[in-house]
Structure 1
C-alpha cells in the first residue's frame, strides 16, 4: 500500500483506534456495573437493545447531518455527546434511565462511525480497498481488546472507568481536527428493494439476522454470565478479550476457506460450532476452570464473528456487482434487526435456565439457522466455485462500509459471459 495512502488514512484510523478503546471498555463496563447493582437480565437486555436501535438509526440517517455541517464538525459533535454520556452513566447510576442514554449513545456512535468510514472511503484507492478494509477491522477489534485490558485496572464501582471512556471519546477528535484532508460526497449506487434482496439471497439475509441475534447477546450479556459464575472483573475482561480475539484471528482464515467450498456449507459448520460450544458451556461448567473457559470463549468468538462477513460473501456470489453496495446495506439492516431482538429474547432463557441460559439461547438460534441452511442446500444449487467473489473482511457497523467493499468495483460481466446466465436465473 503506498505511503501517501497510509498518511492520508492515518487521521481517521487513529481516531477510530482511540475511540474504540473507550467504546470496548464502556460496553463491558455497563453490563458489569448493572450486574453488580443486581439489575435483572431483562432490563440489561432492554438497555442493550436500545443501543443497537440507536446505532441503526444513527448509521442510516446521520449521513444527511454530516453532509450539511461537514465531517469534522459532525464528528466533534458526536464525540462530545458520547463523552458527556459516558460521564452521565457514572454520575447517575440508574439503569432505568440508562436505556435512554444508551439509545442516544447508539445514535451518536452510528454517526461517528459514518464520519470515520466515509473519510476512509474518500481516501482509499480502489486497488487497495480490500487491504484497507482488513486494516480497519484489525484496528477496530484490537482497540476493543485494549479496552478490556484497561478495564482490568479500574474499579467498576467508581466514576473512574466512566471518566476513562469519556477521555477516549474526547481525545479521538484530535486526529481528525488536525487533518487537512477534505471529504467529498459519496457516490450513489443502484438500489435493491428489501424483498428483492430476500428473494435473491435468502441464505445471506437469514444468516445475517441470526448473526445479529447472537452477536448482540455476546456483547451485551456474556459479561453477566461470567459475573454470575463468580469470576472477578479482571477475569471477565480477559474472557471478553478472548471473545474478540477469536473473531479477529479466525475471520479471515474461515472466510478464505469459504472461497473454496459452498459458502452455505461453511455457514452450516459455523452454526454447528456455535451450537457445540454453547452446549459445551452448559455441560462442562467451565467458569471454574479459567483455561477451559478461555479456550471455549476464543472458539465462540471465532465462529460468531465470522458468520456476518461470510454471509455477505454469499450474497455477493449470488448478485451482480452493481447490486453489492445496496445488498450490503440491506444485510446490515437484517443484522441490526436481529441485534435489537437478541437482548430481548435471551433473558427469557436466562430466567428459565439461569445464567447458562445464554448458551442455550445460542444453541437454539444456531439450530434454527442450521435447519434453514440445510433446506436451502436441498432446494437451490450452490454457486459454482469459479463464480465465487473473493472473501473480504467486514464489520457490521454502518452502511457506509459497503462503499469500501472491493467486490462492488468488480467489472460488469460481458453479455456473452457464461456466468451471466447464472446471475440472470436469480
Structure 2
C-alpha cells in the first residue's frame, strides 16, 4: 500500500484501534458483571439488544449531524458520551439503567463508526479500498482481542476496568483531533426496498439476518454461557479472544473459497459447521476441557464471522452494479434486525434448557438456515463462477462500508457530486 495513502489514513485507523480495545473489553465485562450479580438471563439479553438497537439507529441517522458539525467535533462528542457511559457503568449498577446506557452507547458507537469509515472513504483512492477494508477489519478484531487480554488482568467487580474502557474512548479522540479532512461527498444511488431486495437476492437477505441472530449472541451472551458452565473469568476472556481470532483469521480464506464455488454452497457449509460445533458444545462441559473449548470456539468464530461478508458477496453477484451500495446498506439493516432479535430469543432457550440452551439456539438457527439454503439451491441456478465478483472482507459496523466496497464502482472523492448538507446520505 502506498506510503502517502497509509499516512493520510493513519489518524482514523489509530483512533479505531484505541477505541476498539476499550470496546472489546467493555462488551465482555458488562456480561460477566451482570452474571456475577446474578441478573436474569432475560435482562442480560435486553442489555445486549439495547446496544444493537442503538448501533443501528446511530449508523443510519447520525450522518446529517456529522456533516453539520464536522468529523472531529462529531467524533469528540460521541467519544465523550462513550467515556461517560463507561464510568457510569462502574459507578452505578442497575440493570434497568444499564439498558438505557447501552442504548445510548450503541447510538454513540454507531456515529463513531460512521465518522471513522467516512473519513477513510474520503481519504482513500478507489483502487486501494479492498485492501483498506481488510486492514480495517484486522485492526478492529485485533484490538478487540487485546481488550480481552486486558480484562484478564482486572477484577470485574472493581471500577478499574470501566475506567480503562472510558480512557480508551477518550484517548481515541487525540489522533483525529490533530488531523483534518474534507467533508465527504457521495453520489446518489438507486434505492432498494427490503421486499425488492428479498426478491433479487433472497439467500443474502436470509443469511445476513441469520448472521445478526448468531453474531450478536456470540458477542453479547457467549461469556454468560461460559460463566454458567463454571469457567473462571480469566478463561472466559480467553474464549472470547479465541473466537475473535478465529473470525479474523478465517474470514478471508473462506471468502476466497466462495469466489471459486457457488457461494450458497459455501454458506451451507458454514451453517453446517455452526450446527456441528453447537452439537459438540452440547455434549461436554467446557470448564473441564478448556483446550477443546478453545479449539471449538475458534472454529465457531471463524465461521460465524465469515457469514456476513460472504452474504454481501452473494448479493453483489446477483445485483446490478448500480444496486450494490443500496443493496449492501439494506443487508446491513437485515443484519441489524437479526442482531436486535438474537439477544431476546437466546435467553428463552437458556431459561428453558439451561446454559446449553444457548448452543441449542445456535444449532436451531443454523439448522433452519441450512434447510433454506438447500431449498434455494433447488429452485434457482447458481451464479456462474466467472461472473463472481471478488470477495471483500468487511465488518457489519456502518452503512459507509457499502461506499468503501470496491465492488460498488464508487467514484474518487474529488470526482463525486457535491450535495447540500441536508441531502447528504452516508
* Range into which the TM-score falls when normalised by the shorter chain: over 0.9
Corresponding residue for 1:25?
25
* Structure 1 residue aligned with 2:418: none
Q: Deviations over 1:180-201 (max 9, x none)?
A: 3333333322212221111000
What residue is the counterpart of 2:210 in the other structure? 210
CA RMSD of aligned residues (A): 1.0
Q: 1:354-407 deviations in whole A, cap 9, x for unaligned?
A: 111100000000011111110000000000000000000010000011100011
CA distance in 1, matches of 2:109, 2:354: 32
Partners of 1:88 and 1:196 lie apart in 2 by 43
Superposition map of 1:233-252 within 5 A: 233-252=233-252
Partners of 2:25 and 2:166 lie apart in 1 by 10
Query: Separation in 2 of the partners of 1:264 and 1:352?
Result: 33
Partner of 1:271: 271
Partner of 1:192: 192
Structure 1 contact 122–186 (Cα < 8 Å) conserved = no
- In the other structure, the counterpart of 1:258 is 258
Query: 2:54, 2:103 within 8 Å by CA — same for their partners in 1?
Result: yes
Q: State the SS of the aligned residue for 1:374.
A: helix
Question: Given the alignment of the two structures, is residue 345 of structure 1 paired with residue 353 of structure 2, yes or no?
Answer: no
Structure 2 unaligned segments of length 5 or more: list them.
Answer: 412-426
TM-score (norm. length: structure 2): 0.95
| 1:186 counterpart SS class | coil
Bigger shift: residues 182-191 or 4-13 = 182-191
Normalising by the residue count of structure 1, what TM-score does the alignment of the two structures yield? 0.95
Question: Cα offset for 1:410?
Answer: 8.1
Deviation string, structure 1 residues 23-62 (Cα, Å, up to 9, x no partner): 0000000000000000011000011111000000000000
Q: Deviations over 1:326-345 (max 9, x none)?
A: 00000000000000000000
Partner Cα distance (1:94, 1:13) in 2: 34
2:158 equivalent to 1:158: yes
Q: How do 1:306-325 residues align onto structure 2 when only pairs under 5 Å count?
A: 306-325=306-325
Is the 8 Å Cα contact of residues 67 and 185 (structure 1) preserved in structure 2?
A: no
Q: What are the within-5 Å matches in structure 2 for residues 132-143 of structure 1?
A: 132-143=132-143
The residue number in structure 2 matching 1:121 is 121
Q: Distance in 2 between matches of 1:345 and 1:285?
A: 23
1:291-328 per-residue CA deviation (whole Å, 9 max, x = no partner) reads 10100000000000000000000000001111111000
Separation of aligned partners in 2, 1:221 and 1:121:
33
The C-alpha deviation readout for 1:257-306, integer Å capped at 9, x for no partner, is 00000000000000000000001000122331111010000000000000
The total of aligned residue pairs comes to 411
Q: Deviations over 1:121-140 (max 9, x none)?
A: 00110111100000000000
Does the Cα contact within 8 Å between 2:198 and 2:205 map onto a contact in 1? yes
Q: Which residue of 2 aligns with 1:418?
A: none
Distance 1:409 1:363 in 2: 38
Residue pair 1:321, 1:410 contacting (<8 A) in 2 also: no
The residue that corresponds to 1:54 in the other structure is 54
- State the distance in 1 between where 2:329 and 2:17 align: 24
Q: Is residue 2:22 matched to residue 1:5?
A: no
1:167 — aligned with what? 167
Give the corresponding residue for 2:107: 107
Counterpart position of 2:40: 40
Q: Secondary structure at the match of 1:28?
A: helix
Which 4+ runs in 1 deviate beyond 4 A? none
Q: Deviations over 1:154-197 (max 9, x none)?
A: 11000000000000000000000001333333332221222111
User: Is contact 2:21–2:143 with CA below 8 Å preserved after alignment?
Assistant: yes
Deviation at 1:221, TM superposition (A): 0.7
Contact 1:59/1:107, CA 8 A, preserved across alignment = yes
The separation in 2 between residues aligned to 1:12 and 1:338, in whole angstroms, is 29
1:229 Cα deviation (Å)? 1.3
Three-state SS of the structure 1 residue aligned to 2:184 is coil
Give the corresponding residue for 2:406.
406
